[in-house]
Amino acid sequence: MEVSITQPDDWHLHLRDGQLLHAVVYHSAKQFGRAIIMPNLKPPVTITAAVSYRDSVLNALQGNINIDFTPLMTIYLTDKTTTNEIKLARESGVVYGVKLYHAGATTNSQDGVTDLFGNCLPVLEEMVKQNMPLLVHGEVTDPEIDIFEREQVFIDRVLKPLIKKLPKLKVVMEHVTTMNAVKFVESCEEGCVAATVTPQHLLLNRNSLFQGGLQPHNYCLPILKRETHRQAIVAAVTSGSRRFFLGTYSAPHDRKLKECACGCADVFNSPVALSLYAKVFEEAGPLDKLEEFTSFNGPDFYGLPRNTRKITLKKTTWKVPESYSYASGSIVPISAGESLEWLPYLPS
C-alpha cells in the first residue's frame, strides 16, 4: 500500500547551529519542502542574523542530491525589538514570522519578552501592517502556575486580550497540547489564528514520561498532557479543519544533555515525523485528510504557494535507529528502536 501526497512543509523546526545543525538538517530536508526555522539560538536570531543563519542551513546541505529545501526564517521578539526591524524583516524576503517566547518558557528563551503589551505593542501593530505572523510559545512562565495548566493560563492572560486588541494580527499558536487550546483556535476568525501540532502531542500522553522509568526523550515543553487532551487534538487535526497544520517542533539535544540529572526539554522527531503523522491519521480513520494537514493548511495560512512535488508514504515495516551519531556525540530520536509502518520517500 502506498499513499502519495503533496510534499509537506514543517511549520515549526529547530535546527540549532554548528555541529548539531549539520547532523540534523538532512533529516528534515529529505522530506519537507520548506520549514519555519526557530530563532532561539545564543544569541537570539535578529534580522541581521537571519540571513546569515539561512546561509548556514543551506551550506549544511551542500552536496546532497535530490534535495530542494527552503528555510523560512524567523526573528526573535524581545523587549527591545523595534518597528523598523519588522519593516526590514518584511523587506528581507527571507523572514516569514516573529517568534514570541515569554522569558524562561523553553530552551534559550532567557532573552524573551517580559511584558508583551507594555514593551511590544507598537511592534505588534507594525506586524499587522506588514502582515507578519506572530508565532507564540503558548505558556506562561509564572512558577506559581502548575506546569500542566500553563497553556490555558496563557490563553486567558495573553492570547484572548491580544486577539481582542489586534483582531487582524496573524497568530500561530505553536504545538497546542490541550482541548482548551483547540477550542480557542476554533473560536477565532479563520485565517487569523491557527495552530501547529506535533507528532508527540498527537501520539503520547503524560504517562509516556514515566512508563518503565523516566523517559527523557519524551520530555518536551509544553509538557505532555492527559489522554483526554490528546484525543481532542487528534480529533481536531483529523477533522479536516484548515486551522491546524504540521509543525514537528523537532528540537535536538545531545544524548548526554537529555540523559542526565537535569535533562533538557525537547524531542528530536525529524527522522520519524511523517511516519508518526501517518500512523495517527490511519488509526483515526481519515487517512485521506492527511494531505490537507501536512501540505495544504500551512502554506494557505502563510499565503505561500503549495508545493508541486510529491512524496510517497509506503506501508512497510521499518525500525527506527536507536540513535544518530555525529562528531560530538549522539542524538536519540523519539520512538528509538521501535518499528513503524509508514516509510516516506521522494520519488527520483
CATH number at residue 324: 3.20.20.140
Query: For 22-26, 105-109, 277-281, which range has the lowest pLDDT when averaged over its residues?
Result: 105-109
Does residue 264 have a pLDDT over 90?
yes
Q: Which three cell numbers stand for residue 143?
A: 512558577
Q: Are 29 and 309 in contact (CB under 8 A)?
A: no
What gap in Å lies between CA 133 and CA 124, rounded to an integer?
10
Burial of 128 (0-12, 13-18, 19+ CB in 10 A): middle
Does residue 102 have a pLDDT over 90?
no
Residue 42, SS3 per DSSP: coil
Q: What is the pLDDT of residue 103?
A: 67
Residue 117, SS3 per DSSP: helix
Instruction: Please calculate the CA angle 103-109-112 and round it to the nearest 5 degrees.
Output: 45
Share of the chain above pLDDT 70, in %: 97
Total domain count, the chain = 1
Predicted structure pTM score: 0.95
Give me the domain span that covers residue 201: 2-345
State the average pLDDT for the chain: 94
Mean pLDDT, residues 132-160 taken together:
95
Q: Cα separations (Å) of 345 from 4, 27, 228?
A: 10, 11, 33
The confidence band for 1, taking pLDDT boundaries of 50, 70 and 90, is confident
What gap in Å lies between CA 334 and CA 322, rounded to an integer?
9
Burial 303-317 (b: 16+ CB within 10 A, else e): eeeebeeebebeeee
